[in-house]
Amino acid sequence: MGEEATPSLDNAGLAFGLVTAAGLSTALGAAAVFEKRVVKLASKPVLAAGLGFSGGVMIYVSFVEIFVKSQEAFAADGRKERDAYFCATLCLFAGMVLLRLISVLVHMLDKDHHCACDADCVDEAREQSVNQPPLVSGSGDAEAGASGGEAPPQLAEASGAGEEQGAKEKEPAASKGKAAPSKDDEAAKNAQLQRMGLNTAAAIAIHNFPEGLATFVATLAEPSVGVTLAIAIGIHNIPEGLCVALPIYYATDSRLKGFLWALLSGISEPIGALIGYCIIKSTGEDMSQVVYGILFGVVGGMMIMIVILELLPTAYRYDPKDKYVTNSVALGMLVMAASLCMFMA
């Protein structure tokens, strides 16, 4: 089976650093409220490939590294190979069930949680917020004039609002069945939009707990695995930060609020790592192999379910013809395998 698992807290500092970096990657997506070009970079093919890559990394490391570490930890506790394998398998499926229960809780908070990483959700936020300021810094009129080209969609909508309103006033009342939206209607739409962003933030925060725990435990077992896993999780956190920040920004006209709520949703990952640290520390100086075996097995199952429930479904919504997803999954597995081979000695 190879060398026995000898996990310790020697890499705890590195583990916390990686988890924090992965969690704060939501800020990269949230930065869209300050710079429109960030949104353009987050095109559907790019996001589909990124999510597929993350899924490949997490699936490979779950079965090849984390599950094996769980089995080795149970074996190191004195169990026979067959019993150790059974215990690791039981913990793996327990982790899958636990993540499924977390998913149920997430969907109770946000029934459309699949939109949390969906570009259509952002488009809907834009459509419902025509009168909100454009997603660019500085004066919109100055930027449009300086560019000499077409104004951004949001700017064009805002600048054309007056002309559109005047045209509607000239039309006979019978020709248009829709009345101009009242201030109460706009306030209701903004409140709904803000609620969508906050629900998304809460849902993301909840399912970020197991991701933080997974990265922390993986780094304790093998730092190279933790680095690759943190990068994979960070990649799929970027569009989540985007879809928390934009609805709140459009609803409140505050870039800072949108950014801070997205940032807050990523802070739960270090909290998940802290929970893992407390569990391990509570076992005493001998670092109970049983605790490590359970943690590795449960974390592996959680990561598998994150891929099944979150990453791949969202990736295929971006890429329904599968031009990028499957290849990206395979590439993620290859990169993870290569990192393990490089650091194997």
Per-residue pLDDT of the chain (345 residues; tens, 9 = 90+): 444 445 567 788 899 999 999 888 888 878 877 866 655 555 778 778 888 898 898 899 899 888 998 999 899 988 999 999 999 999 999 999 988 888 787 777 666 555 444 445 545 544 444 444 444 434 333 333 333 343 333 333 333 444 444 444 444 444 444 455 566 666 766 666 666 666 666 767 776 778 888 888 888 878 888 888 888 888 878 877 877 787 777 777 788 888 888 888 888 889 888 988 888 777 765 557 888 899 889 988 988 988 898 889 888 988 999 999 999 999 999 988 888 887 665
Q: Does residue 153 lie in a domain region?
A: no
Residue 11 lies in a domain: no
What number of residues does the chain have?
Answer: 345
Indicate whether 221 belongs to any domain: yes
Cα 165 from Cα 323, distance rounded (Å):
43
Check residue 71 and give its pLDDT.
93
Distances (CA, A) of 228 to 141, 225, 325: 44, 5, 19
Report which of 299, 318, 309 is spatially closest to residue 229, judged by C-alpha positions.
299
**10 Å Cβ neighbour count for 185?**
11
CB 307 within 8 A of CB 33: no
Q: Decide if 151 is inside a domain.
A: no
Q: Is residue 277 part of a domain?
A: yes
DSSP structural state of residue 5:
P
In a domain, 98, yes or no: yes
Other Cβ atoms closer than 10 A to 93: 15
Is the C-alpha dihedral spanning 321, 46, 208, 285 positive or negative? positive
Residue 10 domain flag: no
User: Domain tally for the chain?
Assistant: 1
**What domain range includes position 294?**
18-133+182-342
The whole-number pLDDT of residue 60 equals 92
CB half-sphere exposure, 222, CA atoms < 13 A: 25
Question: What are the residues whose beta carbons fall under 8 Å from the beta carbon of 212, sequence distance 6 or more?
Answer: 19, 22, 23, 268, 269, 270, 271, 272, 273, 276
Copy the structure tokens of residue 275.
């929970």
| Measured distance between the N- and C-terminal CA atoms of the chain, rounded to whole angstroms | 15
d(CA 216, CA 229): 10
Scored b (16 or more CB within 10 A) or e, 132-156 reads bebbbeeebeebbeeeeeebbebbe
Residue 156 lies in a domain: no
